[in-house]
Amino acid sequence: MSKTILFAGVLLLAFTVSPATEQPPPRPEYPQPQFQRERWVTLNGEWQFEFDDGNVGLEQGWPTSARAFSRTIKVPYCFESASGGINDTAFHPWLWYRRTFTVPADWKDQRVLLNFGAVFYRATVWVNGQVAGSHEGGETPLRFDITPYLRSGSNTIAVRAENMPTDRSIPRGKQYWEPKSRSIFYTRTSGIWQPVWLDEVGDTYLDNVKIDAALDGAVRFEAAIARPQADLDLRVAVRSLAPIAPATGAAAPAAGPTPRPEITSATVRAAGTRAVVGVVVAEPRLWTPRSPNLYEVTLELRRGATVIDRVASYFGFRDVGVEGGRVTLNHNPIYLKLVLDQGYWPESVMTPPTDEAIQRDIALAKEMGFNGARKHQKIEDPRYLYWADRLGFLVSAEMPNAYVFTDEYVARFTRE
């Protein structure tokens, strides 16, 4: 029996949106390497912040009020962390965030998506006083099309997050339901704990893509299209991804002054909300921890010669299975030397402090002789999974569980 486990995912470019004279925002790299857009704006950095221990914010109209919040917090770090600037591990079940932003002038007549990597545990989001959407689930991303709520000039986002610390039916993994960490349980993470950003998209756009790659070089791309229109084509173009320089963790420059040539490409007509296209990569280079070969792909939604939406992703050829009672990688036996990794950081709790810290974490594990990690009771930051793919590091992950078994827990767990 074998199961093909594949990468769905990206470009390496990140955009700097702060003027050179300002302090750069934390975690400035693009947050989702598996589905990266060219035009985006980070909303990481300082937000207004308020504890709402009496749960009066909704009744008093905080989403639309001009009332200033009394604190600031550095997003994407939680209030329990030193990195967030508050460093308070007491119980605060209801939290409020607020910040302003301006849509870039050259995004005129385009749609704007507001993304949160993760908010623990429930979240409701307002844009200019109107509800943009809500979400339950502390490990999974939120995305809202906020185009109808935008206005010219300054816009305001308000977020209400709810995390009942003593509710042991919430899938929270190793987070403790008491104020202080103890034994095998760790400091909680409440509210926004992964990056926040804006994406610019066309009036119709790629919603997600699933990539399946077989060891013989056949690759299948299945794309979901939001707000579909007639006469749309999906074009995919595959290139080799530049290798990583092991000493620095930095991407080695592509050879020559021009971009790497396409290995293969294909175009197909979309059918409503779906488009499926296949290509074949001749003599595919397989992914292993010793040789983490990957391929870059650009997906374009087109009408004729006009590109309506473009997303960068990546994939690898890799088959993980069990044969003759042994774990195999690409049908060859492999010994899993996995470190048990809880994924908590002293200064920032569940949020990796920097992209460089992620790379160093993986590099140190490899230097100690491990070829992978079991990420224990945590869904990892997409940047961690990206660097594991790039640096040659196996990852076994599990959905966090809860500490009581109830119907509500089962519903929450399976939904997330």
Q: Tell me: the pLDDT tens digits for 297-330? A: 999 999 999 999 999 999 999 999 999 999 999 9
Q: Band of the pLDDT at 1, cuts 50, 70, 90?
A: very low
Asked whether the predicted pLDDT for residue 8 surpasses 70, the reply is: no
Q: What is the bridge-based pairing of β-strands 372-375 and 338-341? A: parallel
CA distance 286 to 292: 8
Place of tokens 């979240």: 123
How far from 83 is each of 77, 193, 245, 334, CA to CA, in Å?
A: 6, 11, 30, 39
| Two tokens, residue 300 | 């374009």
Side-by-side strand order, sheet with 40-42:
40-42, 196-201, 111-116, 142-145
Give the pLDDT band (50/70/90) at residue 259.
low
Tell me the two tokens of residue 81: 């962390």
Q: SS3 for 367?
A: helix
Strands (DSSP E) found in 270-367: 274-280, 295-303, 306-315, 320-323, 326-329, 332-333, 338-341
Residue 182 is predicted with a pLDDT of 83
CA 135 to chain centre: 16
Q: Judge whether 117 and 382 are in contact, CB under 8 Å.
A: yes
Spatial contact of 349 and 189, defined as CB atoms under 8 Å apart: yes
Distance, in Å, from the CA atom of 45 to the CA atom of 24, rounded to the nearest integer, reads 8
pLDDT recorded at residue 183: 87
Give burial (CB, 10 Å; 0-12/13-18/19+) of 184. exposed
| Burial category of 388 from C-beta neighbours within 10 Å (exposed 0-12, middle 13-18, buried 19 and up) | buried
Question: The domain 40-201: what is its CATH number?
Answer: 2.60.120.260
Q: Name the phi and psi angles at 147, rounded to 5.
A: -55, -45
What mean pLDDT is predicted for residues 5-10?
37
Band the pLDDT of 7: cuts 50, 70, 90: very low
pLDDT at 249: 52
Rounded distance between C-alpha atoms, residue 95 and residue 159, angstroms: 8
Nearest C-alpha neighbor of 96 from the set 151, 154, 161: 161
* Domain spans, the chain: 40-201, 325-397
DSSP letter at 361 equals H
Global confidence as pTM: 0.90
> Please, are residues 100 and 118 in contact by the beta-carbon 8 Å criterion?
no
pLDDT at 156 over 80: yes
Q: Say whether pLDDT at 20 is over 90.
A: no
Q: Answer yes or no: is pLDDT of 18 > 70.
A: no
Residue 341 above 60 pLDDT? Answer: yes
Residue 91 Ramachandran class (φ > 0 left, ψ -120 to 50 alpha, else beta) = beta
Dist CA 328 CA 103 (whole Å): 49
| Contact (CB, 8 A) for 330 and 10 | no
**Which structure tokens are listed for 52?**
């709402």
d(CA 327, CA 188): 35
Which residues are within 8 A (CB) of 397 and not within 5 positions of it... i.e. 6 or more apart?
Answer: 374, 375, 378, 379, 380
Q: Minimal CA–CA distance to 313: which of 263, 254, 239?
A: 239
CA–CA gap between residue 161 and residue 121 (Å, rounded)? 7
What is the rounded average pLDDT of the residues 274-291? 96
Distances (CA, A) of 161 to 51, 80, 275: 10, 14, 36
Q: How many CB atoms lie within 10 A of CB 15?
A: 14
